[in-house]
């Protein structure tokens, strides 16, 4: 099937032109060049209205989130992003919506030097599927499967902000403080893929994943793939002042443990690599927080608070 005029009309002219794109939007497929010595990294994510974003989310934010969640997957692989393809399911061709969406998409694509190389539109419920492609040097991709017992567990940034942001957007929670409200809604609607951290963790991290479904959900993918267990200290979970100001300490921990959409990276580092980690994070001007340690209790996640077990299960979350 051909790309419909929507892609050419709204997106083509705005797209940046990378030198490694030989043929972009407007043919049966895109033709691109991979740099020598690099492997290709590919990831796909779909955002559906009402499931992955609220129906009243501004189109600009939807576009940027659709890019960000895909680039976050590339970041978790240690990859540098290059190209995206877009499949857009739209209830109707709403010109105003498409202008705002395509502007948001292209602003974000330009910011990350990513070129839209093709796409498809269909008439249906609002959904955005992006396939992102990037590079990583041969044998330097970060995976989920190479962590070892004894490795330390880190996360970038702060956790739980997008979770509280969602509660605010859903009007389940109303904060007095407008600055905190704006900050938390921004964390929900405009997540930042941790691309710099991802690339600087190459050869340093033993495993890496992005936190899209919540810390407890996502760390289990590493534990499963690497056949390890983990102890996480909930007191060490990094939280923003906005989150701490807005809810009780135990609610904040719950958001940090279980809320998705933060798109921070969780990664593991062996004892020998810790020196390199500090240097790499400093040179990238990025902060990561130590939150726990891996062990040999395969598949078990132990949460501790002030050296006592932290009872997560009774709070009604899925027990791992």
Contact residues for a second copy, defined by CB under 8 A: 1-2, 22-23, 26-34, 39-46, 48, 51-52, 69, 73-74, 76-77, 79, 83, 85-87, 89, 117-120, 122-125, 127, 129, 131-134, 136, 138, 141, 143-145, 208-210, 212-213, 217-218, 221, 225
At its nearest, how many Å lie between a second copy and the CB of residue 29? 4
At its nearest, how many Å lie between a second copy and the CB of residue 311? 26
User: In this complex, which beta carbon is closest to a second copy, that of residue 88 or of residue 243?
Assistant: 88
Q: Provide the H-helix boundaries in 170-314.
A: 178-189, 195-200, 215-226, 241-246, 249-258, 274-284
At its nearest, how many Å lie between a second copy and the CB of residue 291? 19
User: In this complex, which beta carbon is closest to a second copy, that of residue 45 or of residue 264?
Assistant: 45
300 CB neighbour count, 10 Å cutoff: 14
User: In this complex, which beta carbon is closest to a second copy, that of residue 120 or of residue 182?
Assistant: 120
- State the angle between helix axes of 95-111 and 59-76 in degrees (0 to 180), rounded to the nearest 10: 30
Which secondary structure element, helix H or strand E, spans residue 22, and what is its range?
Answer: strand 21-23
Distance CA 289, CA 258 (A): 17
Q: Which of 178, 201, 181 is nearest to 279 (CA)?
A: 201
User: In this complex, which beta carbon is closest to a second copy, that of residue 76 or of residue 175?
Assistant: 76
Instruction: Say if CB 266 and CB 243 are below 8 A apart.
Output: no
At its nearest, how many Å lie between a second copy and the CB of residue 181? 25
At its nearest, how many Å lie between a second copy and the CB of residue 184? 20
Contacts of residue 12, Cβ cutoff 8 Å, sequence gap at least 6: 24, 25, 26
Instruction: Say if CB 209 and CB 265 are below 8 A apart.
Output: yes
296 CB neighbour count, 10 Å cutoff: 11
User: In this complex, which beta carbon is closest to a second copy, that of residue 141 or of residue 286?
Assistant: 141
Contacts of residue 84, Cβ cutoff 8 Å, sequence gap at least 6: 67, 70, 109, 114, 115, 116, 117, 130, 131, 132, 133
At its nearest, how many Å lie between a second copy and the CB of residue 275? 26
Q: Which of 85, 202, 190 is nearest to 135 (CA)?
A: 202
Report residue 305: phi and psi, to 5°: -130, 125
At its nearest, how many Å lie between a second copy and the CB of residue 93? 14
């Amino acid at each position: 099937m051909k790309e419909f005029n929507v892609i050419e009309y709204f997106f083509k002219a705005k797209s940046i032109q990378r030198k490694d794109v030989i043929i972009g939007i407007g043919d049966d497929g895109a033709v691109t060049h991979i740099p020598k010595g690099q492997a290709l990294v590919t990831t796909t994510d779909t955002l559906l209205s009402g499931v992955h974003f609220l129906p009243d989310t501004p189109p600009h934010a939807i576009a940027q989130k659709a890019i960000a969640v895909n680039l976050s997957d590339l970041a978790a692989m240690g990859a540098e992003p290059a190209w995206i393809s877009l499949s857009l399911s739209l209830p109707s061709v709403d010109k105003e919506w498409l202008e705002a969406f395509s502007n948001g998409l292209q602003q974000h694509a330009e910011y990350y030097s990513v070129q839209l190389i093709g796409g498809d539109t269909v008439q249906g419920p609002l959904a955005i599927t992006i396939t992102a492609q990037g590079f990583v040097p041969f044998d330097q991709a970060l995976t989920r499967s190479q962590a070892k017992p004894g490795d330390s567990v880190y996360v970038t940034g702060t956790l739980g902000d997008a979770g509280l942001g969602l509660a605010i957007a859903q009007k389940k929670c109303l904060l007095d403080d407008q600055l905190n409200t704006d900050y938390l809604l921004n964390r929900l609607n405009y997540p930042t893929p941790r691309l710099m951290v991802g690339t600087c963790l190459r050869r340093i991290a033993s495993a890496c994943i992005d936190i899209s479904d919540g810390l407890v959900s996502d760390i289990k993918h590493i534990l499963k793939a690497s056949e390890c267990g983990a102890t996480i200290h909930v007191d060490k979970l990094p939280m923003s002042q906005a989150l701490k100001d807005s809810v009780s300490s135990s609610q904040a921990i719950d958001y940090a443990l279980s809320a998705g959409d933060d798109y921070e990276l969780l990664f593991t580092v062996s004892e020998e690599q810790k020196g390199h980690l500090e240097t790499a994070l400093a040179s990238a001007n990025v902060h990561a927080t130590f939150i726990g340690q891996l062990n040999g209790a395969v598949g078990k996640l132990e949460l501790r608070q002030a050296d006592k077990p932290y009872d997560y299960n009774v709070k009604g979350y899925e027990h791992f």
